[in-house]
Chains A and B, each alone.
Chain A
Amino acid sequence: MTELSAHLPQFQHGQLTENFPDNHLSNTQESMASALFNTDQNDTSERRRHENSERRRNDNPDSETNGQPQNNIQQVVEQDEEEDEELTLKYGAKHVIMLFVPVTLCMVVVVATIKSVSFYTRKDGQLIYTPFTEETETVGQRALNSILNAAIMISVIIVMTILLVVLYKYRCYKVIHGWLIISSLLLLFFFSFIYLGEVFKTYNVAMDYITVALIIWNFGVVGMICIHWKGPLRLQQAYLIMISALMALVFIKYLPEWTAWLILAVISVYDLVAVLCPKGPLRMLVETAQERNETLFPALIYSSTMIWLVNMAEEDPEAQRKASKNSTYDKQAPANQTQNEDPEADDGGFSQEWQQQRDNRIGPIESTPESRAAVQALPSNSQSSEDPEERGVKLGLGDFIFYSVLVGKASATASGDWNTTLACFVAILIGLCLTLLLLAIFKKALPALPISITFGLVFYFATDNLVQPFMDQLAFHQFYI
């Protein structure tokens, strides 16, 4: 399901490490792990705030003797704060756009396919997860059937999520890996083969099996490599978008109408519960992953920046630079421990829980003005300047899938056609924007489905039933509003 988690514990004294401890293990492809991560989005601002506070502290002794410099200091501090705010806003906006683009692309692919390939709007049976049919005689029976379908689907998802959490907790990594590999094999080979076949049928393209085999083989193998191992970032992102679109198309085809809307509504409620409640499976997952300081499974999370896998640390020159910086820091720390000032007053801007967490992890090492000054005197390498660029946001593939299901269903079944599709599209984007805003405020794992899906559903039903007749009448008379 969906989570946003902040990159909390790696921020040490102005150094930003690249280990991403905010792991979010998503469940199966069907349960669609949707996680929205803020990996160090706010660390830049924290660092700058930190520098500002440090400067203020260093300059305070002067203020008693000479009132004059304080004004300049104040101005400098305010200017820094202004720049800080501006940069925060700019980086925040940049991260929002970094997610707008892939979400839009996924939706465009789904809508384009729905509009052109009739296979995905044709009724060819239902999934075993939704056994009750909606072709009933009465409306009441149909409603009941769809509620039952949604209940079965959501219980399947809950069971799968809990299974995944249990597997992760008991370190059955091989099982999880095997599960993920089988799912992505299925998506990359089988579903894309079907998709390609249907596209060829729609456009009446003559094609032989040998060419198709070659195409699908290459597509699938490169996809597996990009997603599960290493590959260019853009290619990996493209593959993740494609498999999300394929999954969304499968859902659009095999879920009957009322069931689909109910499932969307219920899954956003489940997402909210699973991520925010203390005993929610996804929250437990994130916390376990953070405790173990492990990276995410890249197969189920879309990241707007490079994913640093554990085995990359040896070859990567940046990681080596980072390692050397860490060692410098460690040498200084014992020297500074003896000069500890009052820890409560001089907490360096870190909250108590963060400090406790850090103490649990690396031992009681406090930061002091001297240590901070020493660290800041270190030559800043290019890594710190490109850190803000490399910090990105992560969104779970489940989010992509359900957003696309909503928009795809809107374009497939709405009588308002393009108006409804566009209204849902704008609603989802605004929901995503608001979710990212909340992420910037709360800095923890947040569900990305509820707000967007709520807006999307409201706009779908309102546009389809209220706006469409109105616009239809206006267009009939060629009135413009």
Chain B
Amino acid sequence: MGAAVFFGCAGIAFGPALALFLLTVAAEPLRVIVLVAGAFFWLVSLLLASLIWFVSVHLSDREDAKLQYSLLIFGAAVSVLLQEAFRKADEGLATISEDGRSPISLRQMAYVSGLSFGIISGVFSVINILADSIGPGIVGIHGDSPYYFITSAFLTMALVLLHTFWGVIFFDACERRRYWCLGLVVASHLLTSGLTFLNPWYEASLVPIFILTLLTGLWAFLTAGGSFRNVLKCLSCKGGAGREGRATEGVTAATRGLFR
């Protein structure tokens, strides 16, 4: 227990995010700034959603457990909608600042913005849990699931990746004015959040969320201009820099496709 769980869960939750950050964002100052700006937008959306939830809780009966539960679900739904609204605001900012002359393209900003939302959302969800996992304690001693930490870590990883994919799809949909795409992104975010309400029935929540992650990843890959041929080219180390030849995952192939 203790340190092993902490490092393991931290690695699971933030491994992909850290790798994506170090490989694609850390080297470019402009992308780092876009990352921090995206995190700021997400925080503001969370602030507003918490405000709404807080007000609704204080206006209601504190003793009624069922009411509080449904208010929490309502708060979560409002938060999801606000997150997407602020993603739109982030996209608006990106479109304004991207005037064809900046060294960062709209696609790259879409990816970085999605990654920023994912990282900050994942961090806020799981960091206190990770901090608690170091200290002494027994998981689920009151009858809850003993797999709390590891499932939280996996959910966080899925959420980080999902946000990245949603960012790419969202910006592209806004650019091409495909509003059904936008609606689909919002709906899938609501679906993901809704599936987590089924916790601790992890078969019903984790498995569909991961399937959703894979599908969304594929969709984002195709939106970013990736195709089966790109992946083959990547794998056979033909065309492009050497580091692209090392990519074997579809996800990294998609992100590299953004930077080609």
Q: Which residues of A contact B (CB under 8 A)?
A: 82, 85-86, 89-90, 93-94, 96-97, 100, 416-419, 422-423, 426-427, 429-430, 433, 459, 462-463, 465-467, 469-471, 473-475, 477-481
Chain B residues with CB below 8 A from A480, complex form: 125, 155-156, 159, 192-193, 196
Tell whether, in the assembled complex, residue A478 and residue B36 are in contact, meaning their CB atoms are under 8 Å apart.
no
Tell whether, in the assembled complex, residue B125 and residue A90 are in contact, meaning their CB atoms are under 8 Å apart.
no
Tell whether, in the assembled complex, residue A419 and residue B127 are in contact, meaning their CB atoms are under 8 Å apart.
yes
Chain A residues with CB below 8 A from B32, complex form: 93, 97, 100
CB distance from A481 to the nearest CB of B (A): 4
Tell whether, in the assembled complex, residue B200 and residue A90 are in contact, meaning their CB atoms are under 8 Å apart.
no
CB distance from B64 to the nearest CB of A (A): 15
CB distance from A125 to the nearest CB of B (A): 30
Tell whether, in the assembled complex, residue A82 and residue B72 are in contact, meaning their CB atoms are under 8 Å apart.
no
Tell whether, in the assembled complex, residue B76 and residue A481 are in contact, meaning their CB atoms are under 8 Å apart.
yes
Contact of B39 among A93, A426, A473 (CB under 8 A): A426
Q: Given contacts A90-B29, A463-B47, A480-B193, is CB(A473)–CB(B131) below 8 Å?
A: no
Instruction: Judge whether B139 is part of the interface by a CB distance below 8 angstroms.
Output: no
- What are 5 sample pairs from A and B whose C-beta atoms fall under 8 A apart? A93-B32, A427-B40, A466-B47, A470-B50, A474-B76
Tell whether, in the assembled complex, residue A471 and residue B124 are in contact, meaning their CB atoms are under 8 Å apart.
yes
* Residue in A closest to B68 when the chains form the complex, CB atoms: A473
Chain A residues with CB below 8 A from B47, complex form: 459, 462-463, 466-467
Contact with A along B49-66 (1 / 0, CB 8 A): 111011000000000000
Complexed CA–CA distance, A359 and B101 (Å): 37
Chain A residues with CB below 8 A from B128, complex form: 416-419, 471, 475
Tell whether, in the assembled complex, residue B43 and residue A423 are in contact, meaning their CB atoms are under 8 Å apart.
yes
Complexed CA–CA distance, A100 and B28 (Å): 13
Complexed CA–CA distance, A471 and B76 (Å): 10
Instruction: Judge whether B121 is part of the interface by a CB distance below 8 angstroms.
Output: yes
Q: Which residues of B contact A (CB under 8 A)?
A: 28-30, 32-33, 36-37, 39-40, 43, 46-47, 49-51, 53-54, 69, 72-73, 75-76, 79-80, 83, 101-103, 120-121, 123-125, 127-129, 131, 148, 151-152, 155-156, 159, 192-193, 196-197, 199-200
Contact of B51 among A85, A93, A417, A466 (CB under 8 A): A466
Complexed CA–CA distance, A93 and B127 (Å): 29
Contact of B29 among A96, A469, A474, A475 (CB under 8 A): A96
Tell whether, in the assembled complex, residue B49 and residue A470 are in contact, meaning their CB atoms are under 8 Å apart.
yes
Q: Given contacts A86-B103, A96-B29, A97-B32, is CB(A433)–CB(B127) below 8 Å?
A: no
Tell whether, in the assembled complex, residue A481 and residue B123 are in contact, meaning their CB atoms are under 8 Å apart.
no
Tell whether, in the assembled complex, residue B54 and residue A422 are in contact, meaning their CB atoms are under 8 Å apart.
no
Tell whether, in the assembled complex, residue A93 and residue B124 are in contact, meaning their CB atoms are under 8 Å apart.
no
Tell whether, in the assembled complex, residue B40 and residue A93 are in contact, meaning their CB atoms are under 8 Å apart.
no
Complexed CA–CA distance, A230 and B79 (Å): 53
Contact of A433 among B33, B50, B73, B123 (CB under 8 A): B33
Complexed CA–CA distance, A426 and B76 (Å): 22
Tell whether, in the assembled complex, residue A426 and residue B72 are in contact, meaning their CB atoms are under 8 Å apart.
no
Complexed CA–CA distance, A417 and B39 (Å): 18
Beyond contacts A89-B102, A97-B29, A462-B47: 6 other A-B pairs, Cβ-Cβ < 8 A, are: A426-B43, A466-B51, A467-B46, A469-B54, A471-B125, A479-B73
Chain A residues with CB below 8 A from B75, complex form: 470
Ordered nearest first, which 8 A-B pairs have the shortest CB separation?
A: A93-B29, A97-B29, A478-B199, A466-B50, A93-B30, A470-B50, A480-B196, A481-B79
Tell whether, in the assembled complex, residue A97 and residue B53 are in contact, meaning their CB atoms are under 8 Å apart.
no
* Residue in A closest to B75 when the chains form the complex, CB atoms: A470
* Residue in A closest to B197 when the chains form the complex, CB atoms: A479
Tell whether, in the assembled complex, residue B80 and residue A430 are in contact, meaning their CB atoms are under 8 Å apart.
no
Chain B residues with CB below 8 A from A430, complex form: 36-37, 40
Chain B residues with CB below 8 A from A467, complex form: 46-47, 50
Tell whether, in the assembled complex, residue A477 and residue B72 are in contact, meaning their CB atoms are under 8 Å apart.
yes
Complexed CA–CA distance, A244 and B256 (Å): 40
Tell whether, in the assembled complex, residue A478 and residue B196 are in contact, meaning their CB atoms are under 8 Å apart.
yes
* Residue in B closest to A480 when the chains form the complex, CB atoms: B196
**Looking at A86, A416, A422, A480, which has the most chain B CB atoms within 10 Å of its CB?**
A480
* Residue in B closest to A478 when the chains form the complex, CB atoms: B199
Chain B residues with CB below 8 A from A94, complex form: 29
Complexed CA–CA distance, A377 and B196 (Å): 68
Chain A residues with CB below 8 A from B123, complex form: 422
CB distance from A322 to the nearest CB of B (A): 28
Complexed CA–CA distance, A467 and B51 (Å): 8
**Looking at A423, A427, A470, which has the most chain B CB atoms within 10 Å of its CB?**
A470
Chain B residues with CB below 8 A from A426, complex form: 36, 39-40, 43, 120
Complexed CA–CA distance, A79 and B36 (Å): 30
Complexed CA–CA distance, A427 and B39 (Å): 9
Chain B residues with CB below 8 A from A427, complex form: 40, 43
Complexed CA–CA distance, A416 and B73 (Å): 21
Chain B residues with CB below 8 A from A419, complex form: 124, 127-128
Complexed CA–CA distance, A470 and B68 (Å): 11
Tell whether, in the assembled complex, residue B199 and residue A477 are in contact, meaning their CB atoms are under 8 Å apart.
yes
Complexed CA–CA distance, A419 and B36 (Å): 16
Contact of A479 among B54, B72, B121, B148 (CB under 8 A): B72
Complexed CA–CA distance, A480 and B199 (Å): 10
* Residue in A closest to B158 when the chains form the complex, CB atoms: A480
Contact of B102 among A86, A433, A459 (CB under 8 A): A86
Complexed CA–CA distance, A479 and B198 (Å): 8
Tell whether, in the assembled complex, residue B54 and residue A470 are in contact, meaning their CB atoms are under 8 Å apart.
yes
Chain B residues with CB below 8 A from A466, complex form: 47, 50-51, 54
* Residue in A closest to B38 when the chains form the complex, CB atoms: A426
CB distance from B134 to the nearest CB of A (A): 11
Tell whether, in the assembled complex, residue A479 and residue B76 are in contact, meaning their CB atoms are under 8 Å apart.
yes
Complexed CA–CA distance, A414 and B49 (Å): 20
Complexed CA–CA distance, A429 and B103 (Å): 22
Chain B residues with CB below 8 A from A462, complex form: 47, 50-51
Chain B residues with CB below 8 A from A416, complex form: 128
* Residue in B closest to A82 when the chains form the complex, CB atoms: B101
Chain A residues with CB below 8 A from B50, complex form: 462, 466-467, 469-471
Tell whether, in the assembled complex, residue A475 and residue B102 are in contact, meaning their CB atoms are under 8 Å apart.
no
